[in-house]
Amino acid sequence: MESFLTFCRGPLLLLAFSVFFLGAARQVALTFVELGRAYRRAGDQAVNLKFIFKRSLGWIIPVNGLRGTRWVYTAASVVFHAGMLLVPLFLAGHIELIRKGVGLAWPSLGPGAADALTLATMAALLALFVLRVASRASRFLSTFQDWFLLALCMAAFLTGYGVAHPLANPLPFTFVYIVHLLSAELLLVLVPFSKLGHVILFPLTRASWEMGWHFVPGAGDRIRIALGKEGEPV
């Protein structure tokens, strides 16, 4: 098992990071290509960058969502996204692993803050699961990918907490460490090719939506033809 652990911490981790960065670069490149195409085709090419920035900030800090009827879902989603970004990037153990691999390092979260954020993220994941199960509409719209990603994220955080607190972990340390590595590496591989890709593309999402609302030149005439209403207002 120790040799498999070494393989997970070495070649397999390197492969996961390679797929993540190459997949992320591909997604960003394709998004820029589509943004350029949408901009060239748009009848109105005036893009309000200030508006896009404000709307993006509104999605990052959804104050209005916290006032609505689904405030629990909104709060859980915010905590989950914060944990998914901050814990992997600023956990001391992760930074040390990267430093040993490529020589890069940066300031880390303190142990108390890391534990609190990890526990809050797991609580948020549990809340999202319960809310999804409790809502008939959410159950109907949920796919296998939605359930699988929730379970995979929970596995990564739960085993990560077990690795950080071996004395409180009833299972063999090496087994928990391997499960943590495998679940985290699978998440890295899936991010560019699943719904988790919005972690990468979020800064470009609002720009895509804004441009998507601009009518393509001649679109109105083509809609009239498709509806059989040539010469009539649509």
The position carrying tokens 């915010």 is 78
Give 213 or 76, the one with higher predicted confidence: 76
pLDDT at 176 over 90: yes
pTM: 0.79
The DSSP string of 9-72 is HTHHHHHHHHHHHHHHHHHHHHHHHHHHHHHHH-S-----HHHHHHHHHHHHS-HHHHHSTTHH
* Max mean pLDDT range (8-12, 103-107, 180-184): 180-184
Q: What is the DSSP letter of 105?
A: -
The count of domains in the chain is 1
Q: What letter represents residue 139's amino acid?
A: R
The first and second tokens of residue 20, run together, are 């993540």
The CATH number that applies at residue 61 is 1.20.950
pLDDT at position 65, please?
52
* Max mean pLDDT range (59-63, 89-93, 208-212): 89-93
- How many C-beta neighbours within 10 Å does residue 147 have? 14
Q: What is the DSSP letter of 7?
A: H
Residue 204: inside a domain, yes or no?
Answer: yes
The closest alpha carbon to 163, from 176, 179, 152, 150, belongs to 176
pLDDT at 95 over 60: yes
The closest alpha carbon to 77, from 202, 208, 189, 192, belongs to 202
CA 17 to chain centre: 16
% residues pLDDT > 70 (the chain): 76
C-alpha 159/C-alpha 179 separation (Å) is 7
Average pLDDT over residues 79-98: 88
**Residues of the domain holding 201:** 2-38+47-227
Residue 164: inside a domain, yes or no?
Answer: yes
% residues pLDDT > 90 (the chain): 32
If residue 178 lies in a helix (H) or strand (E), which one and from where to where?
helix 173-190
The position carrying tokens 């809050």 is 120
Phi and psi based region of residue 74 (left: phi greater than 0; alpha: psi -120 to 50; beta: remaining): alpha
The first and second tokens of residue 139, run together, are 């159950």
